[in-house]
Structures are given as C-alpha cells and as structure tokens.
Structure 1
Amino acid sequence: MAGTTNFNLPQDLLDYLKVLDDFIETEIRPLERQDDNIRFFDHRREDARTDWDRDGLPNEEWEELLFEAKRRADRAGHFRYPLPKEFGGQNGSNLSMAVIREHFATKGLGLHNDLQNEHSIVGNNVGVLLMLAYGTEAQKADWVEDLLQGRKRFSFGITEPDHGSDATHMETTAVREGDDWIINGEKTWNTGIHKASHDLIFARTSGKAGDGFGITCFLVPTETAGFKVEEYLWTFNMPTDHAHISLKDVRVPHSTILGEEGRGLQVVQHFFNENRIRQAASSLGAAQYCINEAVQYAKERKPFGKALASNQGIQFPLVELQTQCEMLRALIYKTAWMMDEYGAFSVSDKVSMCNYWANRLCCNAADQAMQVHGGIGYSRYKAFEHIYRHHRRYRITEGAEEIQMRRVAGYMFGFMSQKAPKGVRED
C-alpha cells in the first residue's frame, strides 16, 4: 500500500476536551447549582429566563449568570480559544471548534453551553473576528477588547421585513452628505439589540436591487437620533431578544463604515461557513444527546413486564437516527478539516449539506426521544421540547433549508463557484 490515512482526532484536542470537562465540573456546574440557578435549566427554564413584563426580553439575572460563566471561562483561558494568540486565544481551528461544540451539546442543557443565547464557555466571537478582519486600526483599538469583555456589543441589522433570504434586494438606503451618511429603512430579527451599543446596519449605497455589490455596513450607535426599536418579536422558544427596528434620517459619520464601501455583504459572507459548520456540530451534539437519553430510558422502562428496548419498534427508529449521526459526524469533521487546509470557501457545498441536515436531524431526534419517553418526554421535565423548539429555528435562521439546498445545487450544476467572493479574504 502507498500509505495509510489516520482518521483519529488530534491527541492535543482530545486532551483539551478533558481540560474543558474538568473546568465545567469544578467551576461551571457549582455555579449552575448555587442560588437556585438550576431554575434556568429545569422545567421552569422558559419562565425563569423570560421577563414577561418587559416585552418578553431575557431576564436580567439570567443574562448576568451567562456573563459570569463567560468571565470565569475567560480567566481560565477558554473563552477566546479560536482567536489568535495575540488576543489571548489559542488559534483554535475549525475542526477543533466543531468537535468542541458537538462535545458540549452532547452533554445536554447547561451553563457550559446554551445555544438559545449563542452562549458557550468557548466563545464563537463572530463580532471580534469581523472586527479583526475588516476593522480599521482605530476601530480595532476601540472595539476588540471591549467586545471580549462585554463592555460593547453590536447586533446585526441585515434582514428586512419584506426581504429575508435575499439580502441583495434590501430597501434600507444610505445617502452621503459630506462626511456623513443618512440612513433610512427598517430591519427585523435584530438579535441582542436590547444590550447592543451599536447595530451593524447594512444599507444600499449604490447599484440597484439584486446587485451583490453596492451594499455597505455601518456601525450605528443605538442611541442615535432616528434609531428606534419598534417591537420585540415573540418566538417559538422564549425569551426573545429579536427586534424590529426602524431608521429615520439616521446620521452617522463616514468612519462608522466597517470594511469597504459597497462590499458589506462580503463582510458577512466571510464567516458564514465557519459559523454554519459550528452550528451544524452543535445540532449534531444535541441530536446525539436525545438519542442517548432515549436509549437509556428504553433500557429502564418496562411496560407490560419487559424493557422498551426489546421492541424493534423502539430500536429501529433510533438505529436510523444513530446511523445518520455517524455519517454526519464524519462529514462535519472532514468539512471542518478541509476548511482549515484549503480555506472556508473551498467546501461551501459541504457546509450547506452539514448545516441543513444537522438541523433537521436534531429536530427528528428530539421528536423521537419525546415519543420513546411518552408523556414525560412531552413535558418540560425533559429537555427534548426545548431542544426541538430551539433547533427548529436553525432550519430557518442559518439560511433556510431550501436556501442551503439551492446552494448545493448551484455547486453541483455549475451555477456557483467554490471560490471566495471578490473582496473576501480567505485568511
């Protein structure tokens, strides 16, 4: 034979998972259990997390608990893991991040990793990555450490009420007046805007509807005159921090542009694939958690004098799901590895495959776990309903399944190129 291929995960990564597990047990689990913080994860979770008298926003105590977990993770050197070493990170790879996110989600609900808030003790830090890649030196100095410390945050104002998946037809406009820009329009699903100091507003500055170029992103302070939160949109899984906002003659200086004028969509595209492979890994982990719980329960539950696990009607659906998990895991790991080796845009088709299939698989696994558990599975005393309601969101918000399949078809049939869009750096 010419050679062999090793499919084992790197030993240093496996060792790091043990370090993270120890940190969770010594620092995060005790915090989760003290002062009745478990109410945010047990059957009371949705009610405890939600401030029903304040537009359904996240409860302040809930958000402070998440922030404390991040502070502890940052002190321990974990929170900044994927960032460059000069910013306190460990240069974590796409493969490592995918493995870590799957590992965390397989543990179930907990303070170590709560996807409803995009919270994890190993942070994704997309805002920081965008700032490092596209910010001016002045912007980086002003933003990077404040973002990591939680002193500043920005939300993403991309989606509009009448334009969802197709951002190229956005109606929000920005017109230049001297050294300023005047922005008018509306945005919806602005996640995290209730705590954001700024909103990254995408507006058309040139070109025509449907053009990929001519859209610019602006870091708009949320206190700017004419910027208004119209409402918070209640969702399938509460609490909500997703706002519909309006901009009426909002004036910002030219220096608020992030990236190049007219290339705003390319800024966002830069980290689409990294985000989506990590989110796919999280959905895979959540699916595996549901399967594991269903298998264990089927062994223990003995209606009519024999274990549920002895029935093929219980076995076979779980076998199907486990088979899909194994195949998806191989594809996610391979795709993340290829992103590290050849660049994020080299595997855009596979990222879309991983993402839409993982999100669908997670919902199917949660549904089957409910069925195996019967009434208790449908109740809030088990995590399945929460997992289903949350991950159902990702079948839309990470790029709808249909959009992901359309991307795959575009690469299959030669309508799209597996190259970085013009203006997007692969590094």
Structure 2
Amino acid sequence: MIVTESEEQQALRSSVAALAQRYNYVDYVLPKSRRHEPLTELWSEASKLGFLGVNLPEEYGGGGAGIYELALVQEELAAHGCGLLLVVVSPAICGTIISKYGTSGQKEQWLPGLADGSKIMAFGITEADAGSNSHKIGTVAKRDGDDWILSGNKVFISGVDQADAVLIVARTEDAASGKLRPALFIVPTETAGFVRTPMEMDIIEPDRQFALFLDDVRLPSNALVGEPDAALAQLFAGLNPERILGAAMAVGMGRYALDAAVKYANERTVWKTPIGAHQGIAHPLAQRKIEVELAKLMMQKAASLYDSGDDFGAAEAANMAKYAAGEAAIASLDQAIQTHGGGGLTQEYGLAAMLGAARIARVAPVSREMILNFVSQHSLGLPRSY
C-alpha cells in the first residue's frame, strides 16, 4: 500500500494544484454553480495537461497510471474548491469499464476522447424503483435480430447535457427476476428514443442531474460492452473507482474547508488575540484535521488495492473510504462555518453552498446506511439484514 508518494505522484499533485489555484472557488466555481453552468474552462485546461486520463492506457492516449493517480487529481482539484464531478463518471467509471471489457473497436472509438477530455461519457445505473437495490434494475435489453432494444427509466444521472454518450446498465430480458445479470450498453445521447429531462435540485452545483427515458431505443450489436449476462465483477470494475473518486472529492472538500477556517482563525482577532489561539476554536479544527487525514489514508488504501487487482479488498476499503470521507467533509465544512461565525453563512465565503454539495457524499453514489450494511455483513460477518 502506498503511504509515501513517489516523486512522480508528488509532481502530479503540484501540477494539479497549480492549475486549480487559477480557478478560484468564490470567483469562478461558485458563480458558475449558481447558474448551473459546467466548469468547461477548467475541464478543457485539465484535459490539455493530461490530468483527466491519467488512469487510462497509454496506447489510447492516457497516462498509463492507475485509479490512485486519478484520485490524486480529483483530491487536489477539490482541495482548491474546484473538484470535477465528471472525473468520477467519465474516466473513472466508464473509461475503466471500457478499458477492461470493451471490444477493440469500442476502445479505439472512445478511449482516446475520454483520455484527452474531448469526449464525455455519463453513467446510467440509478432507478427510482430499485433505489440502492441494483439487483432489481428494471431497464430491459431485448434482442431483435442483431440489434438490441432498450426500454426503461433512470434518475439522478449526472452531466448528461455535457455527454456524448451514456453507459447504461440494463438487464437481459430473461433476467427479469432472480440475481442481477447486468448488461452494459453505450448509448449516444442523440439516439432516437433517448429522452433526458433535467431534475430540479435544491443544491448549488455546476453539473445538472437528469431523468432518462429509454423508449425502445434501438442499438447495434456493437453497443454492448462485455458480455450480455456478465458477472457482477464487470459492473463493479466501475463502481469501486466511483467510490474511491467520490472519497477523493470529499477529502478535498474537507481540506478546502480546513484551509479556509485556519486562514480566518489566524487573521480574525478578538481582544487583541487571534481566535485560533482559543481551544474552543483550535481543538475542533484539530479534530477535523485528524478525521480528514484518516479518510485520506483509507482512500489511498482503496486505490492501491484496486490498482493491485485485489477486488474484494478494494471494495471493502472503497466503501469505508467513501463513508469516512463524506463524514469528514461535512464535519469540516460545518466547523469552518462555525469558525467564521455569521460570515460563514455569507456568499463572500461560499462555505454554506459547499456544505450542501458535500452532503451528497452521504447519499451518493451509495448511502452510508448501505455501506454500514456492507461492513456489517462482509467485514464483521454479521447476518445479512436486507
């Protein structure tokens, strides 16, 4: 497991930080978020510098590194207030799945664009009726000659308006009951019968959420990624990176909050003394620092295990990392707001807006309750409760 990062990884951190510093959260990210405008300029620059495809194969224009390096990129961006949600979705989930299970044609068509950021692929798994129970996915794929016909609905699908295609998780028709046998399909967003509708969210984020309606969407046979009745391992090849990248984003937000709080606590004086000198301010911030660093270690462990090929170990650590990072980010932002007093609720600092965004980490991509179910059953050996 990586504890001390290599010179190359440290250099990558420094390069990403230098980019992120040019995109101020209050002046750039927050105004764009209030208008629900994607961070296009940042995405473009990160693409040109090769940050977005560090985990993808070199032969297709990627960096040839691993999920650890992509998580590092995400953490460092988020630590400067400009984390990119679609990094979680496009190169981490979709890029990983296509790299591992795609045909040579799919790799040639999609991976160079996903690596250099010129193409974006969203990921469609969530359904209203299935909730966290992905074994009950209702989107069905039927054979029609050499083609596939997809029918179903999806909700909370991020960034569809920015995407060239969506990697849809369906199930073959003969798997309408029993164990999940996922089938993964690349669906270009301009395909006939593919309808997207924005969902009205009450959080301040640059990336929009969409409901998808698949009305007998006809796809050629080469839209299928991997096998039509693939094992769960094929699906989790993308879901474990999703949890790791989500943890990295939450760790970064926690770091951002602490940096803002410490800066204010050093500058704000009351009775000629910086408020950071008082234990009532200092100790809670110290506690949050410990929690963020512990979450970061678990995220690094999960990424290292994933890159080494330890799928079960990575799943356990990725779930724990996502849980710990979400809790640490929320606690850090709440403490940063408290440190700023009334100022913490103003638009000048933007901390309250970020707190709303960080709250997502408790419910997506998997709720903390489902993580606790996983740990109870698989880590502790307790009876399954669901």
Query: TM-score, length-normalised on structure 1?
Result: 0.79
**Is 2:177 aligned against 1:209?**
yes
Shift of residue 412, structure 1, vs aligned partner: 2.2
Match of 1:351 among 283, 296, 318: 318
Superimposed CA distance per residue, residues 180-224 of structure 1 (whole angstroms, 9 cap, x where no aligned partner): 2222221111222223333322222122435122x3222223333
Shift of residue 100, structure 1, vs aligned partner: 4.1
> Paired residue for 2:246?
279
CA contact (8 A) 2:337 2:345 kept: yes
**Is 2:83 aligned against 1:114?**
yes
Report the AA paired with residue 281 of structure 2: I
Report the AA paired with residue 140 of structure 2: T
**Is 2:60 aligned against 1:87?**
yes
> Paired residue for 2:8?
12
Q: Tell me, in whole angstroms, the C-alpha distance in 1 between the residues paired with 2:144 and 2:323.
A: 43
Q: Tell me, in whole angstroms, the C-alpha distance in 2 between the residues paired with 1:124 and 1:404.
A: 24
Report the AA paired with residue 177 of structure 2: A
Q: Tell me, in whole angstroms, the C-alpha distance in 2 between the residues paired with 1:90 and 1:202.
A: 27
> Paired residue for 1:412?
379
Match of 2:344 among 362, 368, 377: 377
CA contact (8 A) 2:306 2:314 kept: yes
Aligned CA distance change for structure 1 residues 255 and 162 (closer, same or farther; 3 Å): same
1:146-295 paired onto structure 2 within 5 Å: 146-205=113-172, 206-213=174-181, 215-263=182-230, 265-295=232-262
Shift of residue 287, structure 1, vs aligned partner: 0.9
For CA contacts below 8 A with separation 6 or more, give which structure has more relative contact order: 2
Shift of residue 66, structure 1, vs aligned partner: 3.3
Shift of residue 370, structure 1, vs aligned partner: 0.5
Superimposed CA distance per residue, residues 141-184 of structure 1 (whole angstroms, 9 cap, x where no aligned partner): 22222333555433222111222211111222222222222222
Q: Tell me, in whole angstroms, the C-alpha distance in 2 between the residues paired with 1:13 and 1:240.
A: 28
Superimposed CA distance per residue, residues 320-339 of structure 1 (whole angstroms, 9 cap, x where no aligned partner): 21222233333333343333
CA contact (8 A) 1:274 1:344 kept: no
Look up the SS of the partner of 2:122 in the other structure. Answer: strand
Shift of residue 306, structure 1, vs aligned partner: 2.9
Look up the SS of the partner of 1:187 in the other structure. Answer: strand
Report the AA paired with residue 44 of structure 2: E
> Paired residue for 1:65?
41
Report the AA paired with residue 154 of structure 2: K
Q: Tell me, in whole angstroms, the C-alpha distance in 2 between the residues paired with 1:335 and 1:128.
A: 18
Shift of residue 86, structure 1, vs aligned partner: 1.9
Q: Tell me, in whole angstroms, the C-alpha distance in 2 between the residues paired with 1:136 and 1:6.
A: 32
**Two-structure CA RMSD over aligned residues (Å):** 3.0
Report the AA paired with residue 40 of structure 1: Y
Q: Tell me, in whole angstroms, the C-alpha distance in 2 between the residues paired with 1:275 and 1:292.
A: 26
**Is 2:110 aligned against 1:143?**
yes
Superimposed CA distance per residue, residues 223-261 of structure 1 (whole angstroms, 9 cap, x where no aligned partner): 333222244333412445211121222222222111100
**Is 2:22 aligned against 1:46?**
no
Aligned CA distance change for structure 1 residues 329 and 64 (closer, same or farther; 3 Å): closer
Aligned CA distance change for structure 1 residues 45 and 204 (closer, same or farther; 3 Å): closer
Which structure 1 segments of 5+ residues have no match? 51-57, 417-427
Look up the SS of the partner of 2:304 in the other structure. Answer: helix
Aligned CA distance change for structure 1 residues 365 and 296 (closer, same or farther; 3 Å): same
Aligned CA distance change for structure 1 residues 9 and 203 (closer, same or farther; 3 Å): closer
Look up the SS of the partner of 1:165 in the other structure. Answer: coil
Look up the SS of the partner of 2:163 in the other structure. Answer: coil
Look up the SS of the partner of 2:175 in the other structure. Answer: coil
Report the AA paired with residue 345 of structure 1: F
Identity %: 27
Shift of residue 6, structure 1, vs aligned partner: 9.6
Which structure 2 segments of 5+ residues have no match? none
Query: Which is further off, 330-339 or 246-255?
Result: 330-339
Query: Which is further off, 92-101 or 279-288?
Result: 92-101
Q: Tell me, in whole angstroms, the C-alpha distance in 2 between the residues paired with 1:357 and 1:272.
A: 17
Q: Tell me, in whole angstroms, the C-alpha distance in 2 between the residues paired with 1:401 and 1:174.
A: 31
Look up the SS of the partner of 2:157 in the other structure. Answer: strand
Q: Tell me, in whole angstroms, the C-alpha distance in 2 between the residues paired with 1:270 and 1:87.
A: 19
Q: Tell me, in whole angstroms, the C-alpha distance in 2 between the residues paired with 1:355 and 1:316.
A: 25
> Paired residue for 2:289?
322
Look up the SS of the partner of 2:143 in the other structure. Answer: strand
CA contact (8 A) 2:53 2:62 kept: yes
Look up the SS of the partner of 1:218 in the other structure. Answer: strand
Look up the SS of the partner of 1:263 in the other structure. Answer: coil
CA contact (8 A) 1:233 1:240 kept: no
Instruction: Report which of the two structures shows the higher radius of gyration computed on alpha carbons.
Output: 1
Match of 1:399 among 362, 366, 382: 366
CA contact (8 A) 2:266 2:274 kept: yes
Look up the SS of the partner of 1:350 in the other structure. Answer: helix
CA contact (8 A) 1:217 1:264 kept: no
Report the AA paired with residue 229 of structure 2: G
Query: TM-score, length-normalised on structure 2?
Result: 0.87
Report the AA paired with residue 8 of structure 2: D
